[in-house]
């Protein structure tokens, strides 16, 4: 039963990133391991099925959840969980995280341009 399975690893995140790449790519088809070319909109699903067939003991549920979260992200539904630039400025100015801001190489958020946070 799926409720008693444990998922460990990063593969669910990879499946989410595959969805983001497939949604934002200008290509129409993607090759699966050089074996077959599938329409890009079906690529994450074909990969899910193929990997499940090749390695039946991997986390199907973890990969499926990665795909679903990838679609939620590309549709913008997860933006409600993303803090605004003003909120990030408040956090960066907080005494609780002042030690992080002082780390060499840390870059403060400076502006927002077309929904993408820019660092400077």
DSSP string, 76-105: TGGGGGSPPHHHHHHHHHSGGGHHHHTSTT
Task: Just list the catalytic residues.
Answer: 11, 63
pTM metric for this prediction: 0.68
Q: Write out pLDDT tens, residues 66-75.
A: 999 999 999 9
Q: Contact, 25 vs 40, CB < 8 A?
A: yes
Identify the CA nearest to 17 among candidates 82, 70, 80, 92: 70
- Coil, strand, or helix at residue 63? helix
Q: Contact, 15 vs 60, CB < 8 A?
A: no
Q: Write out pLDDT tens, residues 31-76.
A: 988 888 999 999 999 999 999 999 988 888 889 999 999 999 999 9
């Amino acid at each position: 039963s799926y409720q008693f399975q444990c998922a460990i690893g990063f593969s669910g995140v990879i499946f989410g990133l595959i969805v983001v790449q497939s949604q934002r790519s200008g290509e129409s088809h993607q090759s699966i391991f050089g074996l077959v070319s599938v329409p890009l909109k079906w690529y994450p699903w074909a990969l899910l099925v193929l990997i499940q067939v090749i390695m039946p003991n991997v986390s199907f549920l973890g990969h499926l959840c990665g795909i679903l979260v990838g679609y939620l992200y590309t549709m913008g539904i997860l933006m409600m969980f993303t803090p605004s630039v003003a909120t990030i400025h408040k956090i960066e100015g907080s005494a609780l995280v002042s030690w992080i801001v002082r780390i060499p190489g840390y870059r403060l958020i400076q502006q927002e341009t077309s929904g993408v946070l820019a660092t400077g």
